[in-house]
């Protein structure tokens, strides 16, 4: 039985005051027995403080990115050990904004995944096609390529505790989510692709859907058999909305 995960990607939003308010609102109504693991991923500079606010709660902390290298002369970078040191359990890897805006290659993403895994963080590997790829029938090809580079570098064992997030680029921040059937189809493809290397790990891997998840569509997406929760952007900045999404991860 896979435990679902609902993870909030705050992206480059927030301030000390706004973060404190959001965490206060989340914790005030956070379920005593959450139906899924729940993670928030604030910007690097706020990790330590948000971590302090979360202490003793059922909310976990995650980074939005990590350096592929362990330490050294890498100005501006943050290592997996540093994320662990400030209390992170999870880290988002290869978000499409990093792939597209900062030109992160599949190879770099795979190295980052390996670095996170080696340090005991749970890497949340983002994969997903752009609209032109979907329209051209290349969704599987793109997702397989992004996944295979990680599987080649880290082996299926790299996914032992890892998480994959299927995030169709055309659904991120657009208000246009994939339909539950579209999501399920790609999630099943991802699981089968991992399963071709290791059936046990494939069955245990959590595959999250991301792309305009909201309170109003979460339940139908999470009801699909291979959708094990969500990676949530915009809606994770509103306590009510995020808590409703978390509730939707419970037994329907």
Q: Choose between 226 and 241: whose C-beta lies nearer to ligand PEP.
A: 241
Contact criterion met (CB below 8 Å) for 231 and 208: yes
Residue 9 engages ligand PEP in binding (rule: CB under 6 A): yes
- Closest approach of ligand PEP to the CB of residue 97, in Å: 7
Restricting to residues 184-223, name those near ligand PEP by CB under 6 A: 210-213
Check if 160 is active-site.
no
For ligand PEP, the nearest residue by Cβ is: 233
What are the structure tokens assigned to 237, written together?
Answer: 């900045």
Q: Which of 83, 88, 81 is nearest to 39 (CA)?
A: 88
Tell me how far apart the alpha carbons of residues 95 and 18 are, in angstroms, rounded to a whole number: 24
Is residue 109 at the binding interface for ligand PEP, with CB under 6 A as the rule? no
Structure tokens at 92: 């988002």
Residue among 79 and 212 whose Cβ is closer to ligand PEP? 212
- Cβ proximity to ligand PEP, 61 vs 235, nearer residue: 235
Footprint of ligand PEP on 142-171 (CB under 6 A): 167
- The single residue of 95, 97, 129, 187 carrying the catalytic annotation is 95
Is residue 182 close enough to count as binding ligand PEP by CB under 6 A?
no
Of 31, 120, 173, 216, the one binding ligand PEP by CB under 6 A: 173
1: CB partners within 8 A, 6+ apart: none
Burial class (CB in 10 A: 0-12, 13-18, 19+), 189: middle
- For 38, the enclosing helix (H) or strand (E) is strand 37-41
CA 242, distance to chain mean position in Å, is: 14
Of 64 and 156, the one with the shorter C-beta distance to ligand PEP is 64
Which range in 50-58, 136-144, 153-161, 225-233 contacts ligand PEP by CB under 6 A? 225-233
Residue 233 binds ligand PEP, judged by CB under 6 A: yes
Among 36, 110, 194, 231, binds ligand PEP (CB under 6 A): 231
C-alpha to C-alpha distance for 30 and 140, rounded to whole angstroms: 37
Number of residues that bind ligand PEP (CB under 6 A): 14
Which position has the token pair 């579209």? 182
Q: What gap in Å lies between CA 144 and CA 75, rounded to an integer? A: 32
**240 CA to centre of own chain:** 20
The verdict on whether 95 is a catalytic residue reads: yes
Among candidate residues 104, 129, 167, 241, the one labeled active-site is 167
> 């570098």: which residue's tokens?
153
Residues with catalytic roles: 95, 167
- State the residues that interact with ligand PEP by CB under 6 A: 9, 11, 167, 172-173, 210-213, 231-235
């Amino acid at each position: 039985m896979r435990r679902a995960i609902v993870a909030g990607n705050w992206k480059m939003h927030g301030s000390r005051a706004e973060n404190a308010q959001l965490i206060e609102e989340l914790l005030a109504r956070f379920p005593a027995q959450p139906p899924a693991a729940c993670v928030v991923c604030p910007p690097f500079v706020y990790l330590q403080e948000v971590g302090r606010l979360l202490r003793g709660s059922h909310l976990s902390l995650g980074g939005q990115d990590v350096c592929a290298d362990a330490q050294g002369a890498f100005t501006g970078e943050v290592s997996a050990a540093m994320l662990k040191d400030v209390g992170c359990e999870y880290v988002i890897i290869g978000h499409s904004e990093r792939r597209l805006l900062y030109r992160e290659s599949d190879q770099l993403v795979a190295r980052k995944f390996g670095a996170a895994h080696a340090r005991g963080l749970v890497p949340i590997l983002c994969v997903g096609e752009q609209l032109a790829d979907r329209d051209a029938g290349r969704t599987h090809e793109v997702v397989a390529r992004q996944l295979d580079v990680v599987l080649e570098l880290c082996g299926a064992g790299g996914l032992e505790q890892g998480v994959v997030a299927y995030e169709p680029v055309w659904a991120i921040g657009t208000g246009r989510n994939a339909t539950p059937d579209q999501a399920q189809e790609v999630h099943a493809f991802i699981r089968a692709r991992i399963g071709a290397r290791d059936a046990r790990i494939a069955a245990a891997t959590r595959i999250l859907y991301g792309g305009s998840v909201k309170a109003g569509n979460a339940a139908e997406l999470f009801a699909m058999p291979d959708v094990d929760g969500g990676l949530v952007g915009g809606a994770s900045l509103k306590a009510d909305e995020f808590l409703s999404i978390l509730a939707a991860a419970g037994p329907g």
